[in-house]
A and B are shown apart, each in its own frame.
Chain A
Amino acid sequence: MNKINLIIGREYWTRVKSKTFLLTTFLAPIAIVLIYAALIFLVTRGSDKERTIAIIDNAGLTENIDLSKNNLKFTVETISFDELVKKYDNKEIDGILELPPLDSSQNKYDIIYHSDKTLALDESGSIVSLFRKKIRNYKIEAFGINQSSLDLIDTDINIEPKTIKDTEKEISSITTTVSSVLGMIVGILLFMVILIFGSQVMRGVNEEKINRIVEVLISSVKPFELMIGKVVGIGLVGLTQFAIWAILMSVLSVGAFSLFGLDPSAMQDVTSSDVTKELMADEGVRTQIAKVVKELLALNWALIIPLYIFYFIIGYMIYASLFAAVGAAAGDDINEAQSLTTIVMLPLMAAFYIGISAAQAPDSTLSVWSSIFPLTAPVVMPIRLASSPPLWQIGLSVVTSILFVVFMIWLASRIYRIGILMYGKKASIKELGKWIFSRG
């Protein structure tokens, strides 16, 4: 045990103190936040130069509306087009917006913008939203529709789940969406952690083999101890990195946004259409949001959080030990181990794709069984957890996972122990099979 600790310590500290770790851990979040902030900055400020646009209004759309929008200044002109072009040449105006007559029998309306410079995306958006409501009202009037009956036309259809027996459990349709999004995030995160740090284990093992230090090491410690030490050490590096990222990202986001004088919710103004804004104003939506928060809080976090951690550890251990075996079986050129890596990657990729579908259909047969099958469970089960699967499935999945991780570590250590001393050539899959059953 003492020796495993030593190995874990070395694996951990040499990595954590390395330049690469410091760079990726501290610079990556800073870069991400800066890029994000810069993006918001650009999008919200957008085209900062003020533009004057002349409007030739053949449809009467400019009556009774406020014609200023961010950096756009509109002037309604009655002079001829040619004279406006002269104004354009004199740089008095930046463009001419031609509103053709409205035809209520068409559901298309082409506004023409005359200019040698195109409009920015947000500028076109602003212009469209400026006239949309006006055209709508015009058509409502033209068709002689009553506003209140129009409001009733678009029906908001919603399937409201209601439990029959379990009256305690109150679920709403919104929960499904929330839990599938939550599950998806957790699943993607797990997949990435396993992939990134699993392949680090593989490279670390192979490096020791190429260095030829491995024979020196295993004359002091058992190959099993060496493998476990490496797997755990690198796992801890992963946890450290994620913890630092989480802290840095939150601190930096707050810092960056206040630095740029930005409100992250300003993003919403740009990305969301007026429809969402209208919805936001709606009292019903507010209660819905409150409901989502309530649903989220109502999830059994005391069970879910420990399970997330459990599946993280189990998933990482299963795949990292497999990657360790591949690193040991690979020859002096890790790139030659492609076929072996594929074998490990295959179930992981499968888990990822099944996981995505499980986020949408958490109770499908595929989702249920792959959340119990140990190679896919570490990714799929956490995704399903948010939608409260039956306890027996969780229990079964936990038990099979524990049994499997023990088996997997055993299997990997069998391959590792022999592979690590086979220099020069990469082992075939058939050979790996022999190694598993050969004696020490």
Chain B
Amino acid sequence: MRNNGIHVHQLANQLLVLTQEVHAAPVATCWVWYRVGSRNEINGHTGISHWVEHMLFNGTPDFPKGTLDRIVARNGGVFNGFTSHDFTAYFETLPADRIELGLQIESDRMINALFLEQDVESERTVILAELEGKANYPETWLDEAVKSAAFTLHPYRQPVIGYKNDLLAMNRDDLYHHYQTYYMPNNAVLVLVGDFDTSALMERVEHYFGGLPTGPTIPRVYAVEPEPQGERRVTINRPGPVPYLQIGYLVPDCRSTDFVPLFVLDAVLSGAKSLAMFGGGAQTNRSARIYKALVETQLASSASSSFWPTIDQFLFELEATVHPDRDIAEVEAALTNEIETIQRDGISAEELARVTKQMRAQVAYGAESVTNQALLLGLWEMIDTYQRSGQVLDQLATVQAADVQRVAQTYLTRQRRTVGHFLPTNTGSISTVA
């Protein structure tokens, strides 16, 4: 099946393969996406998806620990992996004539990762160090507090990296069971974008992945976050440089017909943003509403909105770094006022047109990189369908200014929000010793 330059293949073992030839530069990228993330985690096992992701860099019989990064480097490539709420992804971006290496690595570690006891133990402390590195930043404490207040039962309340006590308690069998449950062709999507010939490459895909067994049925996630019954407020008091504000409104998932109007609302508030993570986007926030109202007025040194597509209902967020001379309450009032102004007066036709133009440019910048193109295909396939990665401009064209006002009125209410304050407990608590 072919759709907009994207070929869709399904192997007999149910592995979905998306390929897109791009001959702009002699590079290609190989991604494997698994439909598992912190959304799939239960109490006591928080962080297990992220830890399993780390274990896939710890060796197989064919690629023992410490060889994978060297072989990718030797072939002029880069590789990495990351875990999110809704998915786990791995990629290799390589000179085009080396793309088969990606197929070999990913097919091998889909099934053959060793999870040796001593590697599990050493990775436990690596992840604790990753967690402690994040905890050095005050924003991490605030974000965790906002998420855990905004979600009462949905796993989106848990940090992707997990809670420290769970990371101390889980063992090799827990991790290996998670791996065997979710890391199967029927729960994976292979995405290949770049300078290759599809039919020749598909022959190699079949060679590497065709023989892998289909896994068990994937456990469903039943959690549905209940309707909030009133505003929630959290405060973090810790050492820190300045106050930070974070507000999250519970909003629909990416399949909702209200998703695209919310996406436009985010762009009206702080510029159209690319979902592409590997560079290339343009900064478009300084002419948008929040920058004018918060940064230009010197209430905050930075402020923005953010909205990310997810499988289940998530948060539409507002964030601000409070100017040291200002009160966080003033900043909160000003941010809230920006939302209430749109609820009352709507947005202008010019703003809608500007968002569309900005998005058209962001799509073009993102398309300069095969890594970004594959990221968008895989990301959308994880949460809905890959087809949406090419539909963003068409979908924007269907949005009316009144839709944006309506979704602001419906979802960005005090009833549906969690307000977080980070209030520093110290000033000038730095000392140096020789």
Does A pair with B?
no
Please give the residue numbers on chain B whose beta carbons come within 8 Å of chain A beta carbons, in ascending order: none
